[in-house]
Chains A and B, each alone.
Chain A
Amino acid sequence: MSAYLRSLSSSILLLMFSMSALLANAELPANINWLTNDEDPVYASPEAVKGGTLKSVLLSFPLTLRYVGPDSNGGFRSAILGNQMSLVVTHPNTYKLLPSLATHWAYSDDNKTMYFRLNPKARWSDGKPVTPDDFAFTLEFMRSKEIVAPWYNTYYSEEVGEVVIYDAHTFSVSSAKPRPRNELASHVALNPTPRHFYKDLTGYVQKYNWEVEPNTGAYQISEIKKGKSITFSRKKDWWAQDLKYYKNRFNVDKVRYTVIRDMNLAWEHFKKGNLDMFGITQPVYWHEKATGDIFDQGYVHKLWFYNESPQYSSGLWLNQDNPILKDYNVRLGIAHSFNIEKVNQQVLRGDYERKHNIHSGFGAFTNPDIRSREFDLEKANMYFEKAGWGERGGDGIRVKDGQRLSLAVTYGVDDHTPRLVVLKEEFKRAGLELNLRKMDSAASFKSVLEKNHEIWWGALGGGRWPQYWGQFHSVNAHKPQTNNITNTDDPEMDRLIEAYRSAMSTEQRVKLAHQLQQLIHEQSAWIPSLDVPYERIAYWRWIRLPEVPGTRIGGTGLSPFDFNGSFDTSDGGLFWIDSKMKKETEAARKKDKTFPAVTRIDDTYKVKN
């Protein structure tokens, strides 16, 4: 009965939505100013050739092929979304908009709506044309309770407005609130969802768990061996293959993901040649594991590629509701006894860079004048003494009114234990005891959102533009389930954040962002740790890359598909496989013939400090 009611209500809803789309039937504003872009430089290599199979690895088999709903937030999601095109994308080097499913776009004057003109050639993988209605369906889909994805339900209801269809190829998407132009596209340039494929969303989670949704990108899943492997094949007549910014990209015929459940084992497979490439950003890989025979003999190349992608705001987040951490001088004392440089220099081989600013890597938005507080035990001592923590107990830890200066740090990544262990010993020298609370990563984040932490060692981020409201506005302080992890409650901060949120010009936003970063630095409730402004990879020599082997924001061009976090850029599929070199290499390995060793460091996009 209730199932019947539910399906009835959802069909009524469906009806209402389609009616609203029909009724809208609106007229396009008269003075519309259509924009497009074919002037920015291409970043694919004209030498690229098609063919070959890329052998890649999955550390676990995905629990679903859906990209929303329960269990869909795994690593494989990016491979699925990587073959879903958006209306417009961002050029990964110039950050300007590029045509994708839309050939032209335009802005409304109220900073809320974008108009799009769909490419008439755009096709789904099942041959059906992409229509404006597929974008209207995206909203229906994402707002449906059937997908069991509350975050998406909320986002698409509260952040995105409506789709209005004008004719067979023209429509508009609005945002629920005005946004600066450069940010508007990332909210309203939707991915289409094939209405013809989803006849009925009832029972979506189970029904579509292993269904391959038609897509618009270069590859589609062609073979699934449950628990073992998933293969993507390149579409022979992909509709976008001759478009300016898609030409000479997505070159390999097949991309095969094989499940290898252990990182060390995967590394051994790579060294055998069973995998074509391997991420070796971690110092221990770059300096130690990725050395020896196959590297010296030139079979495998190493690439260190600097990029300029927005960095995560990694550091110590001090909970200012804690009676000890409430004291400004204690926070300064902690900042001056935080010997992250020792961790970097003596454990991480000096490969990482000290972070100075909560929003480093955001281009003009990053305030270059902010310098993080240096490790200095005398200064730390001075601040701790100012806060009344001058006396030390028998174990060398500071005491005040019988209380020890002992704080717990919550974190969720096993690999970070070594770093914290070194820091713990360093803090001890300053008279501060740091207890390590390692939790499962989901559990640790939950405890932080509940504000049960004293100090959180972690990172937030992932957006194209700095955001402050969630993390630093007082409305989000002192309550659970918000991102204001430091419990910052400062009227001046609030004023600046509100101004930042309502500012529509880039200059103004940049100025306000700089002021906010300065304020965050001054209050010292967030203490910066390290940045990793690069990516390092190892690949067999038959993998070929363009002259500049990556993009400014996207990193190395070794991702087979497009999707790159939430940066809305199109930077995947730049490499190709040289079958002649592959044969040559395989023959050479049998005869012990060697090639010159290659270690490439590319700093085209390195940010000069």
Chain B
Amino acid sequence: MPVFNFNPLTLNKIKRFKSIRRGYYSFIIFTLLVLLSCAAEMLVNSRALVVAYQGQWYFPTYGDIIPGTQLGFEYEYETNYRVLKKRLQGSDSGFVLLPPIPYNPYETDLKNNQFPPFPPSFEDQHYLGTDTIGRDVAARLVYGFRTAIFFSLILLVVSYLIGVSIGAAMGYFGGLFDLLFQRIIEIWSNIPFLYVIMIVSSIMIPNFYTLIAIILVFGWIQMTWYMRTVTYKEKAREYVMAARALGASHKRVIFNHILPNTISIIVTFIPFSIANGIIALTSLDYLGFGLPAPTPSWGELLSQGSNNLESVWIVSSVIVAMTVILVMVTFIGEAIREAFDPKKHTTYE
């Protein structure tokens, strides 16, 4: 038995989506990147993947730190595995396997008589160089991506939940409820939301979730208009009337009957909302009103880069990364829109 029981129309859409090559491949690469970023600790980290030391095996990636004293150093803070690797090289008392990029996004790799930012160097394994205080740009890009994408996804889910529910209710119930919410939304959307965020985040220190909450306060609006319109349209159709006649509750009619028929609208907007979420977080970080330092973030890298144009590797890394991600998301969005285009097929005759 198949796990998913798609109806032929959905299968048709998926087929169309697959046939749009650049959207489909973007989707695969993008999904892969998101999945990989979940395992970023194993790819980009100062902690070793495997340490064999005096017959003992250690897997330091996750969990508690291993103090230097345990691995033959004199200090009590976390072992520096890069130093340990050098020390164990050529000896037979053990070995260290480091991730491909052996730096975490917080540590500052400073040198004597040389001053950051350091240019890209294969020897030091700073493949994209370091930022102005010696942190690895590649590490910060990867962890910054993870933050941005999950920020964006959570924001998307919550704001769509609110936006879709309110929008559908407005379209479905109409009348005073609709009128009231229309005015509320009009007033609400006239508040300059960027300023509000700036003011709020200058008074309190936003963290990941409070920042989502702040953006959410204004971010749910967009979906309501679209949902209101399509619900209005759907409500007048016979199947709604039939459901009502059978005694279905309002909730059931909205969520079980109308919503599936408007899903194409929602799905079409998703990729663009993801892009917007990334851009919102990045611009807030760029302006210094986003996540608190030293959280790795693209906006912070971008602002460092634009203040240090001489160190071109900072600004170019983050711009390339952003462009690639946003272009991919746009490709996916286009493909979805194409696949769900009601002109190609309709969900009812």
Q: Given A346-B110, A438-B293, A395–B77 Cβ distance below 8 Å?
A: no
Interface of B is mostly: loop
A414 in contact with B288 (CB, 8 Å): yes
A425 in contact with B293 (CB, 8 Å): no
In the complex, chain A residues whose CB is within 8 Å of the CB of B78: 396, 428
A325 within 8 A of B: no
The residue on A at minimum CB distance from B78 is A396
The residue on A at minimum CB distance from B64 is A394
A347 in contact with B115 (CB, 8 Å): yes
A396 in contact with B133 (CB, 8 Å): no
B65 within 8 A of A: yes
The residue on B at minimum CB distance from A424 is B294
In the complex, chain B residues whose CB is within 8 Å of the CB of A288: 310
B133 in contact with A422 (CB, 8 Å): yes
A163-199 CB contact bits vs B (8 Å, 1 = yes)?
0000000000000000000000000000000000000
A377 within 8 A of B: yes
Q: Which one of A287, A349, A429, A438 contacts B205 once the chains associate, using CB atoms below 8 Å?
A: A438
B202 in contact with A396 (CB, 8 Å): no
A421 in contact with B294 (CB, 8 Å): yes
Number of interface residues, chain B, beta carbon within 8 A: 32
A431 to B132: give the CA distance in the assembly, Å. Answer: 25
The residue on B at minimum CB distance from A291 is B310
B51-95 CB contact bits vs A (8 Å, 1 = yes)?
000000000000111010000000111100000000000000000
B75 in contact with A395 (CB, 8 Å): no
List CB contacts (< 8 Å) of B103-119 with chain A.
Answer: 106-108, 110-112, 115-116
A609 within 8 A of B: no
A438 in contact with B292 (CB, 8 Å): yes
In the complex, chain A residues whose CB is within 8 Å of the CB of B187: none
B134 within 8 A of A: yes
Q: Which one of B76, B112, B306, B310 contacts A381 once the chains associate, using CB atoms below 8 Å?
A: B76
A373 within 8 A of B: no
In the complex, chain B residues whose CB is within 8 Å of the CB of A418: 132-133
B203 within 8 A of A: yes
A420 within 8 A of B: yes
A417 within 8 A of B: yes
A573-592 CB contact bits vs B (8 Å, 1 = yes)?
00000000000000000000
List CB contacts (< 8 Å) of A384-413 with chain B.
Answer: 392, 394-396
The residue on A at minimum CB distance from B203 is A443
A424 to B108: give the CA distance in the assembly, Å. Answer: 10
A437 within 8 A of B: yes
The residue on B at minimum CB distance from A437 is B205
B265-309 CB contact bits vs A (8 Å, 1 = yes)?
000000000000000000000001000111000000000001111
A421 in contact with B110 (CB, 8 Å): no
A396 in contact with B77 (CB, 8 Å): yes
Could you tell me which B residues sit within 8 Å of A by CB distance? 63-65, 67, 75-78, 106-108, 110-112, 115-116, 132-135, 202-203, 205, 288, 292-294, 306-310
Interchain Cβ contacts under 8 Å between A and B, 13 examples: A284-B132, A342-B110, A346-B112, A347-B116, A349-B115, A392-B76, A395-B64, A420-B293, A421-B106, A422-B108, A431-B77, A438-B205, A443-B203
Other CB < 8 Å A-B pairs besides A264-B309, A439-B203, 20 of them? A284-B308, A346-B115, A347-B108, A347-B133, A381-B76, A394-B64, A394-B65, A396-B67, A414-B288, A421-B108, A421-B133, A421-B294, A422-B133, A428-B78, A429-B75, A429-B77, A436-B292, A436-B293, A437-B205, A438-B293
